[in-house]
Amino acid sequence: MTDRKLSYAGAFNEAVRQAMEADGNVFAAGEDIGAFGGVFGTYAGLQATFGVDRVVDTPISEQAIVGLGIGAAVTGLRPIVDLMFMDFVCVAMDQIVNQAAKLKYMFGGSATLPLTITTAAGAGLSAAAQHSQSLEALLCHIPGLKVVYPSNPYDMKGLMTACIREDNPTVMIKHKRLLGMNGIVPEENYEIALGAAHIARSGKDVTVIAYGRMLNESLTAAKTLAADGIECEVVDLRTLQPLDTASIVASVKRTNHVVVVHEAVRFGGLGAEIAAQIQEEAFDYLDAPVMRVAAPFSPVPFSPALEQHYVPDALSIATGIRAVLERSPVGR
């Protein structure tokens, strides 16, 4: 480990660059990722280094972009295909759900599909309802896909490296508001295993489960509550599918209280699945119902003031944590 700092976007870029240097079968394709470097600059400089045949600017057709990746992957390459905004995943859902996720099954396991789909999710830029959504629960519902959502630059590089090396389809979700976040990132190549959660903060009173931008908001809430003697254990899921249920349950057994946080709308969100798995695996350890802190059931507003109110933050997370502890008949 070094003390070198790199941004979240820079960590993504370095993971792709090092993978392309190490393996000539790795290439990237997407809208404006070539000379422009991507709408958020995450692919900056890669076309200048590797050429137009390995960093490919595509037409504005998400179905075609993912279809290109599927065909390339099943014939032996390791494509990284970029869907500019997560909202645009919906345009390519047939390719993602019925082709990428099913191909290995349809070929009786004989086909491999080392395809990485990258996209940018989340609100906070006043990009309005068609460019701000968090749709990860849709993808997690599809057997055959692995879904990854880093919360910091170190995890971004290690998880992106793991996605590229994975022989099954993965979806790497970047949060737009985290792209400028800086953190310590080693220069050497490294991999963080898919499907393994991380205890970002230890605590004894309540388990807070989060990912992406909400992980950082949860850590801020935990720091605030610590001043009042409430010690939160914060679990960073890192990978959403497959879900590390074992780590979640182990934490719940230690704290007996749970708050699940996500930026996606509350109804039908990943928090509901996590709550269901907790009650199946650790119901007898709960001293209060599982609490969910999430966005209301509404499109993301354009107005900055409304958007700020719409997205959960450290204050609303802290309020949720206090509420679940107040509902505990045994207290803390």
Residue-level pLDDT at 329: 78
DSSP character string of 258-314 = EEEEEEEESTTSHHHHHHHHHHHHHGGG-SSPPEEEEE-SSPPPSSHHHHHHHS--H
| 240-253 pLDDT tens trace | 999 999 999 999 99
Which one of 184, 213, 230 terminates a domain? 184
> Is residue 1 over pLDDT 90?
no
Q: What are the CA-CA distances from residue 260 to residues 122, 154, 221 (Å)?
A: 17, 23, 13
Whether 42 and 148 map to the same domain: the answer is yes
Residues 143 and 254 in one domain: no
Residue 60 belongs to a domain: yes
Tell me the CA distances in angstroms from 292 to 196, 201, 222, 296, one per residue in order.
Answer: 22, 19, 16, 11
Residues 23 and 55 in one domain: yes
DSSP label of 122: -
Active site includes 131? yes
Structure tokens that stand for 16 in this block:
């792709």
Q: Flag whether 136 is in a domain.
A: yes
pLDDT digits (tens, 9 = 90+) for 18-38: 999 999 999 999 999 999 999
Does residue 45 form part of some domain?
A: yes
Beta-carbon neighbour count of residue 41 at 10 Å?
Answer: 16
Specify the amino acid at residue 44.
A
> Dihedral of CA 171/172/176/178: which sign?
positive
* pLDDT of 332 higher than 70: no
Q: 72 lies in which domain range?
A: 5-184
> Residue 232's closest CA among 244, 250, 219?
219
pLDDT of residue 331: 54
Report the share of the chain in percent with pLDDT over 90.
97
Burial label, 279 (beta-carbon count in 10 A; 0-12, 13-18, 19+): middle
State which of 159, 184, 209 marks the end of a domain. Answer: 184
Q: Name the catalytic one among 131, 175, 257, 262.
A: 131
Tell me the average pLDDT across 68-93.
97
User: Residue 275 and residue 155: Cα distance in Å, rounded?
Assistant: 25
* Mean pLDDT calculated for residue range 46-51: 98
Same domain, 175 and 237: no
Q: In this model, does residue 126 exceed pLDDT 70?
A: yes
What does pTM read for this prediction?
0.96
Q: Could you read off the pLDDT of 267-309 as tens digits, one per residue?
A: 999 999 999 999 999 999 999 999 999 999 999 999 999 999 9
| Domain boundary, last residue among 184, 217, 244 | 184
pLDDT range class, residue 328, cuts 50, 70, 90: confident
Tell me whether strands 198-201 and 232-236 are parallel, antiparallel or unpaired.
Answer: antiparallel
Task: Please indicate whether residue 3 or residue 46 has the higher confidence score (pLDDT).
Answer: 46
CATH code of the domain in which 219 resides: 3.40.50.920
Percentage of the chain modeled with pLDDT above 70: 98
Q: Are residues 52 and 111 in the same domain?
A: yes
